[in-house]
Structure 1
């Protein structure tokens, strides 16, 4: 990290959160709300398409798989573009893609066209989650980073409940097409409002655009109160990030942890959440009751984010992930044995809550903290691309598990993944709670050669 970069980081971490931080949260959160709404409408829409005879289990699996193919491409592309051209360019570009294609999907003449459009839509959807969480965390001071990341995840995950509720209220009366039109229009509105969002000063400093970084930091400071400065980080020259740096000895374990957290979190989420309405229809519930039960279960989305917000800066990211992964495995194994609608909803709520706690702690915060600024979007993009790529095949695994052993097979698969995540985190994971991004980087096996105890003058840039 250059002296300018270290100074930028210290000045950002020395601030209390203020109007700028809340406005940034709102603008990033708006885009990610519609991103998640679009992502999770699949469950409601696909259940309705099956009932109407417009699709079947095979076509539904293809729809979900092509979604993940697009998400994979978008996640990796956002990482490369974001580290090379900036966070701002990347998040505006991807928002435009999924906004326009969502509107186009509302007019799709057949399931085949809907699948093609979903692939293109997925490119934008996959990019948003990579850029959104990383960008927010680069602006936030260390003392509030976990809380704001969880708040962003709460905004994002509330769309899961809203999407399910909209499916219940809209699909039976107005049809499934409006489920694509709503996030498409919303995304374009947010795209327009985001045009004045600043570039990440950490990224500007990392690529040598020091004057622009100074101007952004000064504007943020003008809207914020200063608190006690954190332990300063000594400067070191930083070279442009390269893909192979993610697999260097000093970074490898963190890259592997990031990939594992994303892959397992996404797989558990989509193996359960995206398939619930279809499972309920197969169990004999009509589409109206299926969507009503789903809405109650998906209240676990915002509940998980609220729990994450309460524990992220207390228990920490690593141990919070361990606790709720284990809890999710245990509750999930009870799900196949409940048959009444109320108990299905309650147990499903518990499973969904645990899934979204791991999402909030892991995807929203922990993984973005494991990489240095020059590699952050490449690292997060690689982890997300791996998670999306793995999930291209997950719909077929879920369909096979369901055909072989019913719901017990599906939840046993999810429980095994959670158990694997616990092992990986305990053996390789590091705790990032209450540490600046630069301190976390400095502790990566001495990778940066930074002495976090050595003082640095932060008076000027």
Structure 2
């Protein structure tokens, strides 16, 4: 039987794991806003892509490269800011990355040729790159383990909220003020996110473990088993990004060009897909905390393979509307799990590095999604090219089965 002192200790630990503090809510709020910028930035570009193609007289491969160059900037920024966050602190690095993003997003509105458009997109991507990993690290370190996947799921939902804001901006402002207006408006939430983080303190776990002599990146390859885990996580984040960016960059254009939907009608169909994404993210977080990370990932990955294959073979508007929500539910629902799954495999002194290295390596691979889809559509239809993405989700499921251990209820060290 446990001693009275041990009983008190156990009660305190249980209380910590079941009670959510105001500080934990603040980390969740700040990180969710930050990641909303990622969704806002991506979808602003996606929604106005057909207009930009006309304005700068681009072919589909050149248009795909605009998205790719943004993601390349995000990858470089993610690697850099991930390491800086482990060394100098999550909150400080967060704020700097947001400020860079805000400045160059606003600058995009004033360029007059495709070269400078690509340059400003690259620079905005640099600032954007740290958002996912640092925000997920901050929340994972602050929240109780029993709610960890749900908390990182809420952060992931910020991405979808940003997409919705982008949609509203595109529908309200583009028809009246042109495509440049949405990039100017995109600076406002970035500045608000920067302001909201000024009073946020560093998590205690990082403060206690911030002195380390080991290079953070080396923790990801500390043993053959850990290297295999890192490789598996890179595979599933690569599939996530390749599929998502490929689909969401080209879906509005496919609806407009191939099915002749109007601008606002294309956005309506995309909006329904986004609502499905939000529902999928919130449910995935609950499932991952209940049944485990591996099982939740495998279910969603196999369902994504089926839905991608089915969706892009439809032409009926009503069927596309219904299936769009289901497609979004599974394809993006998995975003809820990456923050928790990555955080639970690596120590505090390398956690932000791991989050940003793994996810942004996946982003680097995924960044070629829009380009590959655009290139394939030069000789085939967009729907045909997009339908091929179903294969990659099967590959992701195999990676989860064979390479990634279960970490449900793991204590962070």
Q: Shared fold by TM > 0.5?
A: yes
Which of residues 187, 190, 194 in structure 1 aligns to 2:190? 187
Q: Which residue of 1 aligns with 2:181?
A: 178
Q: Is the contact made by 1:154 and 1:305 (CA closer than 8 Å) also made in structure 2? A: yes
Deviations 1:12-63 (A, max 9, x none): 9546102221122112212221232112211102122235565442331221
Which of residues 227, 249, 254 in structure 1 aligns to 2:229? 254
What is the distance in 1 between the residues matched to 2:319 and 2:165?
A: 21
TM-score by length of 2: 0.90
Deviations 1:385-410 (A, max 9, x none): 31222134322311233334424543
What is the distance in 2 between the residues matched to 1:180 and 1:39?
A: 11
Deviations 1:349-377 (A, max 9, x none): 22121111111122x32223221111112
What is the distance in 2 between the residues matched to 1:384 and 1:113?
A: 27
Q: Is the contact made by 2:273 and 2:325 (CA closer than 8 Å) also made in structure 1? A: yes
Q: Which residue of 1 aligns with 2:99?
A: 96
Any residues of structure 2 matched to 1:293-442 within 5 Å, and which? 293-362=269-338, 364-438=339-413
Which of residues 226, 250, 269 in structure 2 aligns to 1:275? 250
Deviations 1:153-178 (A, max 9, x none): 12322222332233223212222122
Which of residues 288, 302, 309 in structure 1 aligns to 2:264? 288
Q: Which residue of 2 aligns with 1:110?
A: 113
Cα separation, partners in 2 of 1:313 and 1:377, compared to 1, 3 Å? same
User: What SS class does the counterpart of residue 20 from structure 2 fall into?
Assistant: coil
Q: Which residue of 2 aligns with 1:164?
A: 167
Cα separation, partners in 2 of 1:392 and 1:146, compared to 1, 3 Å? closer
Cα separation, partners in 2 of 1:166 and 1:345, compared to 1, 3 Å? farther
What is the distance in 2 between the residues matched to 1:93 and 1:120?
A: 13
Q: Is the contact made by 1:17 and 1:144 (CA closer than 8 Å) also made in structure 2? A: no
Deviations 1:317-344 (A, max 9, x none): 2211100110011111112321122222
What is the distance in 2 between the residues matched to 1:321 and 1:118?
A: 32
User: What SS class does the counterpart of residue 289 from structure 2 fall into?
Assistant: coil
Which segment is superposed worse, 312-321 or 325-334?
Answer: 312-321
Q: Is the contact made by 1:141 and 1:436 (CA closer than 8 Å) also made in structure 2? A: no
Query: Aligned residue pairs: how many?
Result: 400
Which of residues 192, 198, 202 in structure 2 aligns to 1:199? 202
Any residues of structure 2 matched to 1:32-51 within 5 Å, and which? 32-51=35-54
What is the distance in 2 between the residues matched to 1:434 and 1:278?
A: 42
What is the distance in 2 between the residues matched to 1:152 and 1:435?
A: 20
The alpha-carbon deviation at position 11 of structure 1 amounts to: 10
What is the distance in 2 between the residues matched to 1:56 and 1:162?
A: 28
Q: Is the contact made by 1:331 and 1:351 (CA closer than 8 Å) also made in structure 2? A: yes
Query: Which consecutive residues of structure 1, in runs of 5 or more, have no partner in the other structure?
Result: 1-9, 209-237, 439-461
Query: Which consecutive residues of structure 2, in runs of 5 or more, have no partner in the other structure?
Result: 1-12
What is the distance in 1 between the residues matched to 2:173 and 2:18?
A: 44
What is the distance in 1 between the residues matched to 2:14 and 2:58?
A: 55
Q: Which residue of 1 aligns with 2:238?
A: 263
TM-score by length of 1: 0.81
User: What SS class does the counterpart of residue 19 from structure 2 fall into?
Assistant: coil
User: What SS class does the counterpart of residue 195 from structure 1 fall into?
Assistant: coil
Q: Is the contact made by 2:153 and 2:335 (CA closer than 8 Å) also made in structure 1? A: no
What is the distance in 2 between the residues matched to 1:348 and 1:359?
A: 17
What is the distance in 2 between the residues matched to 1:14 and 1:305?
A: 23
Which of residues 147, 151, 160 in structure 2 aligns to 1:148? 151
* RMSD, aligned α-carbons: 2.2
Q: Which residue of 1 aligns with 2:214?
A: 240
